[in-house]
Amino acid sequence: MADAPSSPVARERFDALAGLAASPTNRDSLPVHAPYDDSVVGDVPLSTPDDVRTAVEDARAAADEWASWPVEDRVAVIRRFHDALLDRRESILDIIQSETGKARVDALEEVLDAATAARYYGNHAEQVLTPTRRGGAIPLLTKTVEHHHPVGVVGIISPWNYPLSLSLSEAIPALLAGNSVVIKPDEGTPFTPLWGLELLRECGLPEGVLQVATGKGPTLGEPLIEAVDHVSFTGSTEVGRIVAEAAGRHLTECSLELGGKNALLVLDDADVEKAARGAVKGCFANAGQLCISIERIYVHESVADDFRDAFLRETRALALDAGYDYDHDVGSLLDGELLAKVEAHVEDAVEQGATVLTGGRARPDLGPYFYEPTVLTDVTPEMTLADEETFGPVVSLYEVESVSEAIERTNDSAYGLNASVWTENKDRGEQVATRLEAGTVNVNDAYIAAWGSFDAPMGGMKDSGIGRRHGRRGMRKYTESQTVATQRVVSFSPPKRGKRLWAEAATVGARLWKRVSELGP
Q: Which pairing describes strands 294-300 and 262-266: parallel, antiparallel, or unpaired? A: parallel
Which one from 99, 257, 389, 399 is the annotated catalytic residue?
257
Residue 126 has φ and ψ, to the nearest 5°, of -60, -45
105 contacts 112 by C-beta, under 8 angstroms: no
In whole angstroms, what is the distance from residue 282 CA to residue 161 CA? 15
Q: Alpha-carbon Rg of the chain, whole angstroms?
A: 26
β-sheet bridge partners, residue 320: 330
H or E, element range at 300: strand 294-300
428 contacts 439 by C-beta, under 8 angstroms: no
Q: Which pairing describes strands 180-185 and 210-212: parallel, antiparallel, or unpaired? A: parallel
193 contacts 167 by C-beta, under 8 angstroms: yes
Biggest alpha carbon–alpha carbon distance for the chain: 93
DSSP letters spanning 441-467 = EEESSSSHHHHT-TTS-B--EETTEES
Neighbours of 483 (CB within 10 A): 9
3-state secondary structure of 421: strand
3-state secondary structure of 311: helix
- For 8-61, what is the HEC assignment? CCCHHHHHHHHCCCCCCCCCCEEEEECCCCCCEEEEEECCCHHHHHHHHHHHHH
479 contacts 177 by C-beta, under 8 angstroms: yes
Q: Cα 92 vs. chain centroid, distance in angstroms?
A: 19
Q: Which pairing describes strands 142-150 and 479-487: parallel, antiparallel, or unpaired? A: antiparallel
Q: Is 257 a catalytic residue?
A: yes
Catalytic residues: 257
